[in-house]
Amino acid sequence: MATRVNVLSKEVNGAILTEDFGGARLDTALWREWIQDRALKLDQQAGVFAIAGTPGDPVFPEYVGFRFTGVVSKKHLSRDAVLVVRMRVPTGISAVPGTERYIVHLCGSVPDYFLEIVYGKDDRGRHGWFQYWLSHEGFFFDTAPVLLTETAQEFREIKIEYSHNDRRARGFLRTSAGWQPVGEPIELFMSSLKVELKINCPINGAPIRAEFKDCRLYQRPSSAPVEFIAYRWPAPLFLCPGVRIRLVEPGSGKLIGETTTDAKWATGKISLPDDLTYPLACRVEAFRGDEKISEGEIRATGVEGLYPGDLWAVYVPEQKMGDGKQ
């Protein structure tokens, strides 16, 4: 959301899915519940989605070996995409024997291939962060011992990147040292894109809780430039070709990218860096030659801000266009 009225406005949100869990209840237009352990409850309040309870009321017989409980997003068109979610497990990993998994999951539909980042313990009792996946080669997982000191009792940011063009996926965890891979890149085909936030705890007698917030699935920047259109203000029917638009980091003033609006549609595109995490906060500056004629701020709060694939309108004061029109 722009901080200055009549300077910037987001006309199209380029993100595929954004969810801040700020409503009083789960948004059923975005999600459906998935409950295989009736002892676990889903709750949403104050911007946090939670799964909590004491496992022990399985829908399926215990020999099945899994009890998924959480939410699944609606199906989205498969494309180059990045999933970023914050997750914490305030109860920590329980001492009760058995598999325990707290999961951020990105998957296709037909077939149901996936890659997920898991915090918990596996069937051999190892604790930590894991990357699990199902592909045409079968079901596998990686563990990254260097990340085992990064617990999930505070919110941790998890990222899964997927390239539809070269059929590769990989998971990351943001640590004190920055984004760290949880496993190797995996060759994977996803026919569509769905997000799952869930627990798999086929154990009994240990109270558990997992919390998720600020979920966003957006296009990879290299595949989806952000677009700007320049209008004269306060007469928005008049387009403004030849306006140079710069994206700048707030505070540092570092240039993120720039473009000049074209002669026909007064639009311009900026390719965004792949190594940044979105949404992004930035300052938008508009120039006629060397003269700055307009500027505004885009804040990044929760799931709001600038995304790859966005379309933003930049309003330019008419009296500064220098063409004599009023």
Give the whole-number percent of the chain exceeding pLDDT 90.
70
- On average, the pLDDT of the chain sits at 89
pLDDT for the residue 144: 54
The segment with the largest mean pLDDT, out of 132-136, 193-197, 316-320, is: 193-197
Over residues 19-52, the pLDDT tens digits come to 999 999 999 999 999 999 999 999 999 999 999 9
**What letter represents residue 195's amino acid?**
V
Model confidence over 236-257: pLDDT tens digits? 567 889 999 999 999 899 999 9
Residue 130 CB neighbours (<10 A): 23
66 and 200 Cβ atoms separated by less than 8 Å? yes
SS3 at position 37: strand
- Determine the average pLDDT of the residues in 315-323: 62
| Secondary element (H or E) of residue 86 | strand 81-88
Cα distance between residue 193 and residue 74, in whole Å: 9
Least confident of 82-86, 210-214, 230-234: 230-234
Q: Please check whether residue 157 is in contact with residue 174, taking contact to mean a CB–CB distance below 8 angstroms.
A: yes
Q: At CA 44, angle to CA 39 and CA 49, rounded to 5? A: 85
Query: Please, which residues have CB within 8 angstroms of residue 100's CB and are 6 or more apart in sequence?
Result: 93, 94, 120, 121, 200, 201, 203, 206, 208
**DSSP string over 215-250:** EEEEE-GGG--EEEEEEEES-TTSB-TT-EEEEE-T
The domains of the chain, with CATH numbers, are 8-14+222-320 (2.60.40.1120), 36-219 (2.60.120.200)
